[in-house]
Structure 1
Amino acid sequence: MMGNDSSQLSGLEIEEKAIEITDFWCHYQATINDSCRYFSLKGDGSVSVFKGEAAVGPLWSISTPLEKFSNNLLKYRHPCIVRYISAWQQRSTLHLATEYVQPLSHILQSLTPLQICIGLNNILRALVFLQEQAGMSHNNVSVSAIYVTGDGQWKLGGLQYLCPFVDVTAAYLRHARIHRYDKAVDPNEDSYEITTKVDQYAFAVLVDDVFKDCKDDEVPHLKEFKKYCRDYLQHQNPAKRPNLSELLIHNFFNHEFISIYKFLNFLPLKSEEEKCQFFSNILENLKCYDEETVAKQLGGLLLSRLTMLDQTARKDVIPFILKPKNDRIPNGEASGFFSLSVFKEHIKPRLMQLFGVRDSQIRMLLLRHFSKFVHVFSHEELSQHILPELLLGIKDVDDSLVSATLICLSELVPILGADTVIGGKRSKFFSDGRPNSKPKSLLSATSQATDNVYVTTKSLRDLPCSEEIYETDDRNELISFDKSITLNERPSPVGGESLDDDIIVTELHTNKEESEDDWSDWENNRQLTTKVAPAILDEDVIPKHFVRMKSIEENSTSASNSSMKVISESRTTLLQKAAIEAKKNILDISELDIKNQKYDFSKKSSDEFDFFADMTPVIEKPTIVNIAQNSDSQNLSSKLNFVPDESIEENEAWGEDWNDE
């Protein structure tokens, strides 16, 4: 379980179980959730937290051991000394946060002699820095004072006894002896007048401890180095003990593997000529060493910013470091340097950190080789760490960076899916236009299915067709017609229903004879059926029975299904034959254009049927009836045109003749 502690580091979660308990503090592993600034093996923000209480003793009257350790880490910074992050007080407990480290004693048995050699080189460099540049004596050199970072680098710790050389007295050493490593204390230490050579004696003891289970021939010059430490660093006369800086020129710290390590560490101090020569030969020199040792000790240096920005390294080193070794290598393709298992364990964490670096040159280098190592990441690593960094890259103003990023995103689509990579709602805008199925027997040996190219030597008659095949009465002619194609027919004219079906039968027998040469235009006939048929249904080109037949077919659609099955084959065949007949009469495709069609009304044949004959309107002239003038008409009286008789008196009424006609 993990619990939150209020601290100066937000998001810090400290494990409840300590990994190390000493006389002065307890060592815990922790994680900073909202930060990945602090290097760890997993690149997940792991750190180390030391919790210490007050201690009893004359050396701790002013400050506790952990407080001295913390203050010295803060003051003396060196690449080979444990890196300080933060310190805070919580109640009576002091908390110290450092980079992710673990005690050397926990992993010493799993290290190779070469790794131990490089580790000793780091500790020696840290001691030289403290003695010759800071003027300080460590006074506690031992395995318990050494820590190992997530990438396998040894770091010097245990600085609670650190003090200036002027303060290193016999009394001081006597007070500190109770908690120092007994084996690293010179038995005659109290009798020496010179007390500044304590670290030399302790370093010689450290060499024996770390190489206790190693053979002398496993590391170049190991045997003579051990002898040198016993004879000089543990000399009975402290005055004859050499300075620790003289050990750095010993052959033990200058063999080929150590030389490569040192060169990569001090790369900024090298000239361009030296770097060019070094990177041109480095991979050949490293092939004779254990690849796991190389990956753990040199992996971080080979993928450091300075190395990745060097032109020679970008050409001769980085492409092979970023490519896992594959047993099945295509012809002409170079193999990677590290095996897949070693790559996943030691190189992959570096790559995840490099994707968080905001340097365009480094990002472009990673994108250029992305396809070589993308398969080593898990789905969670790709979606949670790599994909967000790539999505950030497509928003950059550099067009080259955006273009390379989009290519890498396409590599993730088959792995994570398009929904994860591009997000948002998607719709199907494209469909697969390939035929539904093609028998494998139709594919020739040279055909490639990936290109959707089908090559065959069979004749058209032997090829399977997706349309239905209809046979005529004489069984020697096949006509293909696609059921899904509908012809845009003109409506039957008024009065067309009076035509007799005998016309269809007569025309069918007339055009029944057709030569076998029509098979050469089989494909053209299909195109004509699908593309031209709607346009050629004109009374100038197609016989009139074709239009009549179409009218009958449309009317028969509403009939029962049984009737449809009986007449569908003959009428569909007639449609096809009419289209073929029309095609023969067309010399140029432009004739189908209505703008180019010509019709001579003066040559209208007598036997041509006029569809609009019964549509001519009949306008009858008005019938004029002449009515003979009757001499007595003026004597007729009308109720509406009354002329009074002068002989009738004025007071006489209408009379009884009002209703008389």
Structure 2
Amino acid sequence: MMGNEGSQLSGLEIEEKAVEITDFWSHYQATINDSCRYFSLKSDGSVSVFKGEAAVGPLWSVSTPLEKSSNNLLKYRHPCIVRYISAWQQRSTLYLATEYIQPLSHVLKLQTPLQICIGLNNILRALVFLHDQAGMSHNNVSLSAIYVTGDGQWKLGGMQYLCPFRELTSAYLKHARIHRYDKAIDPNEDSYELTSKVDQYAFAVLVDDVFKGHKDDEVPHLKEFKKYCSSKLQHQDPESRPKLSEVLQHDFFSHEFISIYKFLNFLPLKSEEEKCQFFSNILNSLKHYDEETVAKQLSGLLLSRLTMLDNTARKDVIPFIFKPKNERLQNGEQPGFFTLTTFKEHVKPRLVQLFGVRDSQIRMLLLTHFSKYVHVFSHEELCQHVLPELLIGIKDTDDNLVAATLICLSELVPILGADTVIGGKRSKLFTDGRPNSKLSIEKPQEIVFTTKPLQDLPCSEEIFHHDDSVMTLNERPSPVGGESIDNEPILLNKNISRAESEDDWSDWDNSNRQLTLRDTEELNQPDIFQDHQLQPPIENIDLNNDLLRPELKINPVSRIQLQKAAIEAKRNIVDISELDIKNQKIDLTKKGDDFDFFADMTPVIEKPTIINVLQSEEQQTFSSKLNFVPSDELGDEGWGDNWNE
């Protein structure tokens, strides 16, 4: 029987297998996919659906048993009565949807004595409500009329025999007897003139049934209460039976654990002083009881709206309830109250429910302690339940709420990933700006340059190494179309060259002598090329460029001679020092005056400028960005926006 069956609840899916089949209806579990997710502790939209059957009898001439029970659930609302959701009819079959419940008979064996005690308290409160405020008699108090919700609370159902006390007659009870619980029927019921104490007798039978197999010392005052029920509630004279409201005053319903339960239930009726004292000591009192029982029976009340809005509870209770117990605590860390297993089973579903509450105070409390419990959720729970609620929070007008929400979203990024939390397409907009990822960023002053070949360096820019004694230059590749000597590094011994220069030119004053290309290299380090494959050949050096040092300016004739000599000697050059003018081979056997090397050079002493080694017109983009030299031709273009050229 899958599908919505023409229901009034959108998205309802009913399970095929029935949970319970009685004379009047079949009980099914169902889920509502697109709404009403607060009907169950699981927050998955679980509900219960009762499918009614037709019944024969004088009591059902006007309405069927399920229809009558449905109308009574709709009319008489109480926290201890099964909650009505909806009812509809399809053809001749009636459907009733209620909160998620299970028959008590299915889970009774799993109930602890304390849970049974609290359950009986709930049923008794529901009966007192019906008797004293509604003026109605239930007439069907038994195990079959009691259900247990997802959080372990007992609730009264089976309202098909409910009637006003004025209509409760021997004839009415006789008509209903065929379907009532036989053990709960007083044998002398037909002979009594007073029939208003039917529920007292049935409640005493219920107490005996639920505690069957348990010892009398498992719950305080249990033995005395059983005797009280047998002697008072089952008294042969109905007039001697006490009112159910008096039964609530028995010591059995007044021990410490149930007193805590009652206080939390009636929290709005308590004064500020009572609440302050209660919440200051509640956790110490609960440590003496079974953790599973405390979590199942009290976790819902401890995380109720009224509790979370109390100032004392927010300080002394909630921080410990929100935090799972951790055996390894750090210094000064407060321990949690529930173990991780218990927390996941009983507290986590309630947290999911609380994220759907549109109360700023409750949401701020959840966000404040978010880091304590976020790890207990699965990825699916975070994505489907928690994250959507957090994304709603960032749109609120409360700045404090938005700020706290953003902090919680940041904690979800390592768990779910930024794609899930932020959404949309992302791109890499930031890069690692460190010049060398292998260098320590803590002590940048200790950066050491290396003499490895440029192709072995991890850095994108070439590194120039300078030594006082020896300068190692990388191989200079040949120009396009030319010849080169492969894999032969060129070494210049600067000390030896300087000594030879001083011996040969001792008659010149150091301040006035003309500088050779070799000396120029000593004063001005060569440019750091971005790509060592594009280093310019020596014959492409423009010696008449305006940016050259004035003392190096040469007339066109001498420039042509030097270029021809360089072209002829290029193939045999092993050491760059051969380019020095003093090392040029000149034929002195020619006729005429002695050759004067500096005849066409007029020394001009001006402020030194930086040499700019330019390449040919076909290759004018090789200069390093880190060793840029401004010129008149470049204008104000700067480095440009493209760093990858």
Q: Equivalent residue for 1:275?
A: 275
Deviation for aligned residue 1:554: 2.6
In 1, the alpha carbon distance for the partners of 2:362 and 2:576 equals 73
Pairs within 5 Å for 1:6-405:
6-405=6-405
Deviation for aligned residue 1:60: 0.8
Matched positions, count: 505
TM score, norm. by length of structure 1: 0.71
Deviation for aligned residue 1:434: 8.4
Contact 1:325/1:337, CA 8 A, preserved across alignment: yes
Q: Secondary structure of the residue that 2:31 maps to in structure 1?
A: strand
Deviation for aligned residue 1:2: 3.2
Contact 1:553/1:571, CA 8 A, preserved across alignment: no
In 2, the alpha carbon distance for the partners of 1:353 and 1:150 equals 13
Deviation for aligned residue 1:32: 1.2
* 1:533-580 Cα shifts (integer Å, max 9, x gaps): xxxxxx99995235898499631799xxxxx9x999x989xxxxxxxx
Deviation for aligned residue 1:10: 1.3
Deviation for aligned residue 1:347: 0.4
Residue 315 to residue 556, structure 1, CA distance change in 2 (3 Å): farther
In 2, the alpha carbon distance for the partners of 1:198 and 1:118 equals 22
* 1:79-99 Cα shifts (integer Å, max 9, x gaps): 110111111111000111111
Deviation for aligned residue 1:437: 4.7
Q: Secondary structure of the residue that 1:26 maps to in structure 2?
A: strand
Contact 2:37/2:46, CA 8 A, preserved across alignment: no
In 2, the alpha carbon distance for the partners of 1:214 and 1:18 equals 30
Q: Equivalent residue for 1:419?
A: 419
Contact 1:29/1:46, CA 8 A, preserved across alignment: yes
Contact 2:292/2:342, CA 8 A, preserved across alignment: yes
Contact 2:24/2:65, CA 8 A, preserved across alignment: yes
Q: Which residue of 493, 496, 521 maps to 1:545?
A: 521
Q: Equivalent residue for 1:485?
A: 462
Higher helix share: 1
Deviation for aligned residue 1:41: 2.1
* 1:9-62 Cα shifts (integer Å, max 9, x gaps): 111111111100000000111111111354202111111111112210111111
In 2, the alpha carbon distance for the partners of 1:126 and 1:93 equals 29
Structure 1: runs of 5+ lacking an equivalent: 439-448, 471-479, 488-503, 514-538, 559-563, 573-600, 612-661
Q: Which residue of 455, 467, 479 maps to 2:450?
A: 467
Deviation for aligned residue 1:468: 2.4
In 1, the alpha carbon distance for the partners of 2:5 and 2:183 equals 38
* 1:592-631 Cα shifts (integer Å, max 9, x gaps): xxxxxxxxx97469xxx9x9xxxxxxxxxxxxxxxxxxxx
Contact 1:38/1:100, CA 8 A, preserved across alignment: no
Q: Secondary structure of the residue that 1:249 maps to in structure 2?
A: coil
In 1, the alpha carbon distance for the partners of 2:312 and 2:211 equals 37
Contact 2:100/2:149, CA 8 A, preserved across alignment: yes
Q: Secondary structure of the residue that 2:89 maps to in structure 1?
A: strand
Q: Which moved more, 1:33-42 or 1:49-58?
A: 33-42
In 2, the alpha carbon distance for the partners of 1:83 and 1:602 equals 107
CA RMSD of superposed structures (Å)? 3.4
Percentage of matched positions with identical amino acids: 73
Deviation for aligned residue 1:3: 2.1
Residue 422 to residue 548, structure 1, CA distance change in 2 (3 Å): closer
Deviation for aligned residue 1:166: 1.4
Contact 1:468/1:481, CA 8 A, preserved across alignment: no
In 2, the alpha carbon distance for the partners of 1:9 and 1:56 equals 29
Structure 2: runs of 5+ lacking an equivalent: 465-490, 501-514, 528-533, 541-569, 578-602, 614-645
* 1:134-157 Cα shifts (integer Å, max 9, x gaps): 111111000000011111111100
* 1:118-177 Cα shifts (integer Å, max 9, x gaps): 000000000001111111111100000001111111110011011111111111111111
In 2, the alpha carbon distance for the partners of 1:604 and 1:357 equals 83
Deviation for aligned residue 1:508: 5.0
Superposition misfits of 4+ residues, deviation over 6 angstroms = 480-483, 539-542
Q: Secondary structure of the residue that 2:177 maps to in structure 1?
A: helix
Residue 505 to residue 133, structure 1, CA distance change in 2 (3 Å): closer
Q: Equivalent residue for 1:637?
A: none
Pairs within 5 Å for 1:622-661:
none
Q: Secondary structure of the residue that 1:29 maps to in structure 2?
A: strand
In 1, the alpha carbon distance for the partners of 2:126 and 2:605 equals 115
Contact 1:3/1:16, CA 8 A, preserved across alignment: no
Q: Secondary structure of the residue that 2:337 maps to in structure 1?
A: coil
